[in-house]
Structure 1
Amino acid sequence: MTILLIEDEPLIARQLQKLVHQLEPGAVLEGPLTSVQSICDYFSALRANGRPFPNLVISDIQLSDGVSFEAFRQINLNVPIIFTTAYDEYAIRAFKLNSLDYLLKPIDPEDLKTALAKYHRWALNGTTGLDEQFRHFLNQISEHTPTLQFKRRFTGHHLRQIISVPQEQVAYFLRNELIYLHTTDGRKLVTDYKTLDELEELIDPACFFRANRQCIVYLDAVSGYRPYDISKLQVILKSPNDSLEILVSKEKASAFRHWLEG
């Protein structure tokens, strides 16, 4: 049995690999793939080399360059899929339209165990393909649902737990050897991003601003700014308990003011 994993967040991908290994020790795991393009490339290579498709796909919906539905529509995939997502609206629609199952993040091991058991029952009955209703859904969602280009939810870890944080609860990201996510309620989580440059490619520039080399701030966490020295600006955060000094350089000051004003 071959299982393909599709997940663009490294921390979650490693946890998922570990869980699947525990629950399906005899399975061969491939991936994780991290983008719509990598999915298309993967299946194109399988077809070109005459290799069989995986028996099962476990796929995130929101990826770094869009939604996985688009890739499945392009490649005409006929493989059972367990979707994972932090977005209820996608999850519910996918489930109602006959995906094998869906799991909301953070993934519960018992939920994954149940989903894999459902796959084995399905495979035993010989019904391992996606039906025409789901194919129609893939076409419809590509035509009528805007592709989500930016990450809206982030993960970090604390005390061996993976914490899922919607962007509305992000105060800022800070580089201090590691990349930390600071939340509006005062939590400090370690992320798996290697650089702020990597993170900056994934986030919505209307919501986030790269204040300097060490910090990216979230719009709703900022209450304003004040002059600092001759040409710099100092960001004022809404949290009165946050003592971090966030400075915006002279070169970025004008762009910051425009961003804050919308």
Structure 2
Amino acid sequence: MSTTLNILMLEDEPLVAFSLLTLVQEIEPTAIITGPIASVREAQEWLDTHPSPDLVLADIQLSDGISLDVFAHRPLDCPIIFTTAYNEYAIRAFKLNSVDYLLKPIEKEDLNAALDKFHLLQDKFKNTTYLSQMQELFANFAQQNKKYKTRFSVHQGRSMILIPVEDIVCFGKEEYIYLLSTDGKKYLSDYRSLDEVAELLDPTQFFRANRQYLIALSALEGFRSDDWGKLKLKLKVSPGEEVTVSREKAGEFRRWVER
């Protein structure tokens, strides 16, 4: 095992980062510290292009989202100490899984205890079952706390206008991705795929009906089943053709509607 501790720091507040960096250097003077990295995007890019660190010190709230998004959908092969104030149940969950959780402002003795705990538990963090359970925990928590878009910018001639999500009937795919609004107008968007759009929308309010349509629950008036088990949807405003849900997705659609 290497005697040099490699630490990745995720923190978007410069003063907090400087204070934390100073404390770590006092407690672990030989540690190599990367960061602070201030955004989810930058953290993901760094992890995609570098070997995993021995430890991550991560603030929950970064400049463009929550740090749990960094770890929710990638192999988790190093322990994490979170450094922020969040809800009581999250704190219990992380402590139960032996990942420490420090409340700001961070005291030296608390950080020292967390690093001592890390050293004691290093073997546990090599256990693939444990890491899989932690990744599932992060994914669930990230999903629960994810903030979805409330409006979309679209093209109107040479201008851009904003459409609130409550005024959206569906997103559709032709040669491009467009938005259909409740007033029956189609607007060109800059998104490249419906998958990209779906990531930005609350899945309790929008459903991927098929390859061509992502529909809003608020725009659904009803549906009927055909002789082959497909569902034919009736929307408050038609995109110009009938929107269908395959027999394979019919059950998922019904659960979504009746949730």
Corresponding residue of 1:127: 124
Please give the alpha-carbon distance, in whole angstroms, between the structure 1 residues aligned to 2:34 and 2:61: 19
1:141 to partner: Cα distance: 2.0
1:144 to partner: Cα distance: 2.8
Give the partner amino acid of 1:140.
N
Q: Report the count of equivalent residues.
A: 142
Asked if the contact 1:2–1:55 (Cα under 8 Å) also holds between the matched residues in 2, the reply is yes
Establish whether residue 65 from structure 1 lines up as the match of residue 64 from structure 2: yes
Please give the alpha-carbon distance, in whole angstroms, between the structure 1 residues aligned to 2:136 and 2:73: 12
State how 1:212-223 maps to structure 2 within 5 Å. none
Give the partner amino acid of 1:103.
L
Mark the structure with the bigger radius of gyration.
2
Stretch deviating more after TM superposition (127-136 or 97-106):
127-136
Where 1:131 maps in the other structure, the secondary structure is helix
Please give the alpha-carbon distance, in whole angstroms, between the structure 2 residues aligned to 1:91 and 1:13: 22
Please give the alpha-carbon distance, in whole angstroms, between the structure 2 residues aligned to 1:148 and 1:36: 15
1:142 to partner: Cα distance: 3.0
1:74 to partner: Cα distance: 2.8
Asked if the contact 2:52–2:77 (Cα under 8 Å) also holds between the matched residues in 1, the reply is no
1:131 to partner: Cα distance: 2.7
Q: 1:21 aligns with which of 18, 25, 29?
A: 25
1:128 to partner: Cα distance: 2.0
Asked if the contact 1:66–1:148 (Cα under 8 Å) also holds between the matched residues in 2, the reply is no
Stretch deviating more after TM superposition (59-68 or 87-96):
87-96
1:73 to partner: Cα distance: 1.3
Corresponding residue of 1:108: 107
1:135 to partner: Cα distance: 1.5
Please give the alpha-carbon distance, in whole angstroms, between the structure 1 residues aligned to 2:13 and 2:148: 16
Please give the alpha-carbon distance, in whole angstroms, between the structure 2 residues aligned to 1:22 and 1:88: 29
Please give the alpha-carbon distance, in whole angstroms, between the structure 2 residues aligned to 1:148 and 1:119: 34
Please give the alpha-carbon distance, in whole angstroms, between the structure 1 residues aligned to 2:117 and 2:146: 31
Please give the alpha-carbon distance, in whole angstroms, between the structure 1 residues aligned to 2:7 and 2:23: 12
Unaligned 5+ runs, structure 2: 150-259
Cα RMSD of the aligned pairs, angstroms, is: 2.0
Q: 1:4 aligns with which of 5, 8, 14?
A: 8
1:61 to partner: Cα distance: 0.5
Corresponding residue of 2:141: 141
TM-score between the two structures when normalised by the length of structure 2:
0.51
Please give the alpha-carbon distance, in whole angstroms, between the structure 1 residues aligned to 2:118 and 2:74: 21
Where 1:82 maps in the other structure, the secondary structure is strand
1:147 to partner: Cα distance: 3.1
The one-character-per-residue Cα deviations of 1:137-176 (angstroms, maximum 9, x if unpaired) are: 1221233323399xxxxxxxxxxxxxxxxxxxxxxxxxxx
Unaligned 5+ runs, structure 1: 47-51, 150-262
Asked if the contact 2:102–2:110 (Cα under 8 Å) also holds between the matched residues in 1, the reply is yes
- Say if 1:66 and 1:15 are closer, same or farther in 2 by CA, change over 3 A: same
Please give the alpha-carbon distance, in whole angstroms, between the structure 2 residues aligned to 1:35 and 1:87: 18
- Say if 1:89 and 1:57 are closer, same or farther in 2 by CA, change over 3 A: same
1:95 to partner: Cα distance: 1.6
